């Protein structure tokens, strides 16, 4: 799966996803979802399609779009792999956003951790707010059964 968190003016757009197959009745990324067959090797294509479908936004509506985390978690012998993107929303779009996947809300950065999120998203967001937003690193977020380990993925 992919997810994108949009920021604007010190706030982040969260989505209260309702009726989802995997995640329901929790706060998640601004937009995101499952890969289509032709996107399996292109997480950016997947997240941009989901952004267009769910919020009506295109890449040109964003600045500083980057994949920042790849989350791995073993759930009932299924390896769940999540690609998390972050971007800034260019001015002029922030008040117009609504989603067909649930309820959108702009949340102050200081309040984000007060929202109920899926486990991997919660750990990723906590790391992002404390560390990730101050770096340009791409991190592997790997569940060890007790929490998550964050490892910078650097080219070798």
Three-class DSSP category at 72:
strand
Of 32, 34, 36, the C-alpha closest to 86 is: 32
22 confidence band (pLDDT: 50, 70, 90): low
Contact 6, 87 (CB under 8 A): yes
> What are the residue boundaries of the structural domains of the chain, listed by start?
2-152
Tokens of 125: 């967001």
Instruction: Say what the pLDDT of residue 4 is.
Output: 96
Mean pLDDT of the chain: 90
Half-sphere exposure of 154 (CA within 13 A, CB side): 5
Kindly report which listed range (11-15, 40-44, 73-77, 116-120) carries the lowest average pLDDT score.
Answer: 73-77
Instruction: Say what the pLDDT of residue 91 is.
Output: 82
Checking if the pLDDT of 12 tops 90, the result is: yes
- Burial (CB count within 10 angstroms: exposed 0-12, middle 13-18, buried 19+), residue 142: middle
> What are 48-58's pLDDT values in tens digits?
999 999 999 99
Q: Quickly list H helices, the chain.
A: 43-55, 119-130
Instruction: Say what the pLDDT of residue 24 is.
Output: 65
Instruction: Say what the pLDDT of residue 21 is.
Output: 64
End-to-end CA separation in angstroms for the chain: 26
Checking if the pLDDT of 74 tops 90, the result is: no
DSSP letter, residue 99: B
Checking if the pLDDT of 95 tops 70, the result is: no
DSSP string, 137-152: --EEEEE-SSSEEEEE
Which architecture, in CATH terms, is 2-152? Answer: Alpha-Beta Complex (3.90)
DSSP letter, residue 156: -
Higher-pLDDT residue of 91, 12: 12
């Amino acid at each position: 799966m992919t997810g994108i968190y949009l920021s604007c003016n010190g706030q982040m757009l969260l989505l209260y996803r309702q009726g989802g197959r995997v995640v329901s009745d929790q706060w998640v990324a601004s937009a995101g979802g499952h890969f289509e067959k032709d996107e399996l090797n292109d997480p950016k294509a997947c997240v941009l399609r989901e952004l267009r479908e769910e919020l009506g936004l295109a890449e040109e509506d964003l600045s500083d779009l980057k994949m920042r985390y790849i989350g791995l978690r073993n759930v009932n012998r299924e390896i769940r792999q999540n690609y998390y993107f972050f971007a800034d929303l260019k001015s002029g779009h922030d008040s117009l956003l609504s989603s067909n996947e649930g309820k959108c809300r702009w949340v102050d950065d200081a309040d984000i951790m007060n929202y109920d999120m899926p486990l991997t998203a919660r750990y990723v967001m906590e790391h992002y707010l404390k560390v990730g937003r101050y770096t340009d690193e791409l991190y592997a977020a790997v569940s060890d059964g007790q929490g998550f380990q964050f490892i910078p993925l650097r080219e070798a």
